[in-house]
Amino acid sequence: MQAIGRRHWAIAEGWIPSESSFSDHALISHETACILNTGDKEAHVMITVFFADREPVGPFRVTVAPRRTLHLRFNDLKDPAPIPRDTDYSSVFESDVPVILQHTRLDSRHSEISLMTTTAYSES
């Protein structure tokens, strides 16, 4: 299979609800960046998180092994700082090898869940 992807990605939307109607990990309100590395080299990804009213935070660093996908929850980011809940943010991803990025939110503030997803914005 031919490796595909791009090295620069951005997700302009970003908002993690602080509330959830469920304690099951799969159903806790969350935002995910699904990062697919189709190639044969490790992807070293630097993430910068932008806010409305203060300087960006980052880089957060994650590694995606060759031929692996990482469904990264923004909820789980901790270093250099956690992502605040109920707060507008955006994110930019820079990888040293081509990857593919898709953004998803699961919202369970109420008794039914709501989902949204989009292929992120990319540049070579």
Q: Which chain residues interact with a copy of itself by CB under 8 A?
A: 1-2, 4-5, 8, 10-15, 17, 26-27, 32, 34-36, 38, 46, 48, 50-53, 55-56, 58-59, 67-71, 86, 88-90, 92, 94, 100-105, 107, 109-123
Whole-angstrom distance, CA of residue 87 vs CA of residue 17: 8
Shortest distance, CB of residue 1 to a copy of itself, whole angstroms? Answer: 5
CB 35 within 8 A of CB 102: no
Shortest distance, CB of residue 47 to a copy of itself, whole angstroms? Answer: 10
Whole-angstrom distance, CA of residue 62 vs CA of residue 70: 9
Nearer to a copy of itself, 2 or 79 (CB): 2
Whole-angstrom distance, CA of residue 90 vs CA of residue 49: 6
- For 110, the token pair is 């109420």
Nearer to a copy of itself, 56 or 84 (CB): 56
